[in-house]
Each structure stands twice: as C-alpha cells, then as structure tokens.
C-alpha cells in the first residue's frame, strides 16, 4: 500500500512513517519544515521527503493519506485530499488500528517528561530481553531510532494530550488503550487548543476511562491536577511515586545522578546514570513501576537505567569549543526550563551558565506562559531570549523583572555576538527550543571556534 504522510517531519508523524515502512508499505511524505533529527532518520530509512504541501506530491494518488495535527483546513494538500475524496485518517487512529491492536500498550503521558520516560521504559524492557516495540517523540540514544515494531506483544508509546487531527479534536492518547499508563504530571499547556487546565484534566480522564481493571495507572502522589483526574472516577489499580508515594528515591548525590530506589519501604536497587535533575529521578520511578507491571524486577530495571543514555535534544551535549560546553535542550514550558536548569546547576556547581531560549511552542507563541518565564531562569548567570519580529507579544516586558542578567535579541547574529562576548572557558551554554532554532547550535560552535 502507498501511504502518504502530511506533516511527516513532526516527531510523532516521523515515527509513524518508520512503523509503516517496517510493515511493508511504500511511504512518502511532505512537510513545510524538513529538519533533523527527524529528516535524517527518515532519509536513512529510505522514505522520500518532499518540501511543502503541493498537491502534486499526491499524484498518482496514494492508497491512504495520514494527516498530521499541524495541518488545518485551507492547507492546499488538505483541500486536495478532501476534493479528490482520497481515503484519509489521523496518525493516532492509524497507529491504533495497524500497530497497537492486540498488544500490551505501555503509555507515558504528562505535560513534561513523556519522551524521556517512554525512552527509559523502552530501554528497561529491551535490557530485560523483552524486545518491545515503541513510538517515541524523539530519538532515544540507546536505540538510535524513534520507533520500531518490536518482536513481542509489548509496545511503549509516548502518549500526547495534543489533538489528533483537524477532524478529530480528541487527544491523541485516547486512541491508544494502554494496559499500563504513566501519568507523569499535569500543568496548563497547549493554549492553542485548550482554554484552561480543567479542559486538559477532562482529556486525561478520557484516558483513565480506557485503562482496563486489570491494568495499572502510575502517578506522582504530589500532583493535585492528577488527583483531581483520578477523583473523577478510576476503575484501575493505582501506584504512586514521590516523597509520600509507594515508589520513592533516596538521593545519593544532590544532582540526581545516583539514587536508591525504594518500593513500599524496601530498597530495590541503585541507579547510577548520566542524567541529572529531580525530574529525571521522578521519571525513573514511574518507569520502574511500569516495568514491574510487565514482569521486570526493580533491581533489573535500576541496572538498565544505569546504562540509559537519554534522548537527543534532552540536555544533549552537542559541542565543546575552547572550554565552552554547548547543550541542546527541548524545553517548551517554564517548568521544564526551570527543572532542567536546576539539574545542570547541581551538576556543574558554580560554573557560569548561559541559557539561550526561543519561546517557540504554540503556547509560548501565544504568550500563555509569559508570567513564568522570568523566574524559570533564576539558577543561571544570564539568559538570552530570542524575540523574532513575528512573536506577537512583548517578550522583553515579560522578562524585565528576571532575577538574572537578561538580554533580548531579535536575530541569531545578535545572540551569537552576545554569547561570544560573555562565554569564557568553563561556561555552560544551554540552547532551549522545541524547533531547529535556525541551526543556532552549529553556528554558535563555529563562532566560538
């Protein structure tokens, strides 16, 4: 079957393309922005990518068009599909019908940490010899690919609350029907589709309704929003993580790079890994609870996590130039920015940290998180914010009261000049964006050299 994917370079749709190819389909796709790591991965898989949404990309007509949720009515490719009466489906629906049916699905949901947690979980199962399938919205470095079919009934999926398609406004995760569900945390996000936190809580409860009575739901004990979700009705056993939860961590190093895992008061093992930050410790506890549900002993799971190598673009060290270290991080929300920088600060001590941030997610572009931005960088020495002319709100005013030295730039060139003038050997530079940031990482490395 010839499947054409509209929006193929999105992290979810790109992963879907890999699975469709593995099932033996002829896969092509088009997107407005073709950039790594997804474009590189797809080209390596022999999947033909086309720039833009020209209807000519669908001639001769494919057997099926999978339409990404970034596309809406008025898009020329969408209009062509509708006018020609071509068969079409949303990505999550296709995944549910052709990959997840009949499998033991383990889903990682939440505002933050979905990609990292699903990567951890896939790796723990892999390490235990369970050869799981997975679909992850990023590239886990232990696997080097964002999706695979797997060889057993187990399938790990990053379960996103974003909508499914222009014709299906349900959250993607409603399609997945997990038997094991991690609800990592819950905050207001996706301001382009949700009016408030209560609307997102309702979608999370739709997910809870689909988990069987013989399944398992895992969530942090401390999350008030998730307690409200469970309080709407739950028909499934629940395990909790965190300070007052059944699953706890005792930090053996302040930055979270070593910790004991405790389940119901008993020490299960020690994780000694490359990651830092309390948020990653919490991700690990949820992972170990989910893995135990499919038969992996927590001690085994802790050993696996000690070999976990994180995900591309999650505090990924991309260069070290003349003593200056550059990291690439996906942070898309003030909480994610703050927790990531907290982990780095604890790791590097007093070393100077410069954060370079592009408010690029849909919620950020709408200014939905502007109140939290100034404080989110409190642990760095200075913050450089990118405010292109198209931003549409006053970023400089939003960060004016920041507790650290703050610069707002309207071009990549200005950012590069600022970093060059401030960075000395030993400086840690964290570049935070959920997009390609105009290739800033490479340009900055060149400039520093």
In a domain, 436, yes or no: yes
pLDDT at res. 195:
81
State how far the Cα of 422 lies from the Cα of 34, in Å rounded to an integer.
32
pLDDT at res. 112:
85
pLDDT at res. 102:
95
* Residue listed under structure tokens 């799981």: 132
**In terms of domains, do 397 and 323 share one?**
yes
- Token pair of 58 as six digits: 């669908």
DSSP 308-358: ---BTTSSEEEEEETTEEEEEE---SHHHHHHHHHHHHHHHTTS-EEEEE-
In a domain, 339, yes or no: yes
**In terms of domains, do 188 and 151 share one?**
yes
State how far the Cα of 89 lies from the Cα of 80, in Å rounded to an integer.
14
In a domain, 369, yes or no: yes
Q: Let me know: does 315 contact 329? Beta carbons within 8 Å.
A: yes
In a domain, 186, yes or no: yes
* Residue listed under structure tokens 């898009």: 75
Single residue among 91, 121, 147 that ends a domain in this structure: 91
pLDDT at res. 311:
79
In a domain, 96, yes or no: no
- Token pair of 13 as six digits: 């749709």
Domain encompassing residue 10:
2-91
pLDDT at res. 359:
85
**In terms of domains, do 67 and 210 share one?**
no
Single residue among 36, 71, 91 that ends a domain in this structure: 91
Buried b (16+ CB within 10 A) or exposed e, 413-447: eebbebbeebbeeebbbbbbbbebbbebbeebbeb
In a domain, 397, yes or no: yes
**In terms of domains, do 244 and 353 share one?**
no
**In terms of domains, do 80 and 175 share one?**
no
Query: Can you tell me whether residue 397 is helix, strand or coil?
Result: helix
β-pairing, 64-67 vs 88-90, is parallel
pLDDT at res. 333:
79
State how far the Cα of 417 lies from the Cα of 175, in Å rounded to an integer.
47
* Residue closest to 395 by CA, chosen among 419, 418, 420, 376: 376
**In terms of domains, do 26 and 130 share one?**
no
In a domain, 97, yes or no: no
**In terms of domains, do 189 and 137 share one?**
yes
In a domain, 126, yes or no: yes
**In terms of domains, do 265 and 131 share one?**
yes
CATH number of the domain encompassing residue 17: 3.40.50.720
**In terms of domains, do 132 and 226 share one?**
yes
**In terms of domains, do 107 and 254 share one?**
yes
Single residue among 257, 286, 305 that ends a domain in this structure: 305
pLDDT at res. 368:
67
Q: Return averaged pLDDT per consecutive 10 residues of the chain, 449 residues in all.
A: 95 93 96 80 91 96 97 97 98 98 97 92 98 93 93 96 94 97 85 82 96 98 94 98 95 94 97 92 97 98 94 84 92 82 90 92 68 91 91 89 92 95 94 87 92
CATH number of the domain encompassing residue 232: 3.40.1190.10
**In terms of domains, do 286 and 392 share one?**
no
**In terms of domains, do 223 and 355 share one?**
no
Structural domains of the chain, count: 3
């Amino acid at each position: 079957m010839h499947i054409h994917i509209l929006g193929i370079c999105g992290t979810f749709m790109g992963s879907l393309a890999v699975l469709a190819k593995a099932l033996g389909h002829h896969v092509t796709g088009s997107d407005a922005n073709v950039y790594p790591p997804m474009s590189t991965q797809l080209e390596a898989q022999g999947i033909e990518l086309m720039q833009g949404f020209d209807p000519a990309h669908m001639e001769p007509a494919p057997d099926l068009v999978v339409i990404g949720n970034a596309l809406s009515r008025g898009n020329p490719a969408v209009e062509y599909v509708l006018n020609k009466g071509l068969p079409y489906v949303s990505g999550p629906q296709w995944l549910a019908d052709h990959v997840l049916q009949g499998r033991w699905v383990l889903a990682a949901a939440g505002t933050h940490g979905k990609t990292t947690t699903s990567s951890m979980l896939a790796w723990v199962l892999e390490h235990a010899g369970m050869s799981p399938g997975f679909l992850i919205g990023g590239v886990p470095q232990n696997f080097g690919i964002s999706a695979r079919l797997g060889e057993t009934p187990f399938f790990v999926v990053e379960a996103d609350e974003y909508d499914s398609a222009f014709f299906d406004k349900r959250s993607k995760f409603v399609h997945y029907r997990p038997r094991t569900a991690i609800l990592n945390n819950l905050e207001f996000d996706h301001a382009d589709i949700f009016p408030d936190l209560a609307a997102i809580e309702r979608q999370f409860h739709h997910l809870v309704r689909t988990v069987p009575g013989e399944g398992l739901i895992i969530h942090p004990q401390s999350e008030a929003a998730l307690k409200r979700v469970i309080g709407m009705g739950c028909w499934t056993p629940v395990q909790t993580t965190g300070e007052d939860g059944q699953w706890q961590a005792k930090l053996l190093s302040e930055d979270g790079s070593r910790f004991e895992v405790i389940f119901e008061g008993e020490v299960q093992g020690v994780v000694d890994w490359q990651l830092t930050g309390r948020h990653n410790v919490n991700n690990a506890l949820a992972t170990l609870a989910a893995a135990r549900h499919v038969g992996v002993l927590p001690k085994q799971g802790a050993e696996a996590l000690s070999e976990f190598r994180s995900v591309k673009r999650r505090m990924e060290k991309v260069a070290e130039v003349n003593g200056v270290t550059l990291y690439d991080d996906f942070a898309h929300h003030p909480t994610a920015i703050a927790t990531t920088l907290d982990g780095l600060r604890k790791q590097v001590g007093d070393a100077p940290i410069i954060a370079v941030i592009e408010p690029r997610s849909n919620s950020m572009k709408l200014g939905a998180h502007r109140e939290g931005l100034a404080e989110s960088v409190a642990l760095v020495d200075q913050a450089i914010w990118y405010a292109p002319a198209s931003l549409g709100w006053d970023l400089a005013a939003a960060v004016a009261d920041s507790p650290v030295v703050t610069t707002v730039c309207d071009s990549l060139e200005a950012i590069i000049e600022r970093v060059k003038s401030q960075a000395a050997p030993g400086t840690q530079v964290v570049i935070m964006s959920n997009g390609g940031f105009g290739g800033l990482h490479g340009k900055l490395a060149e400039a520093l050299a």
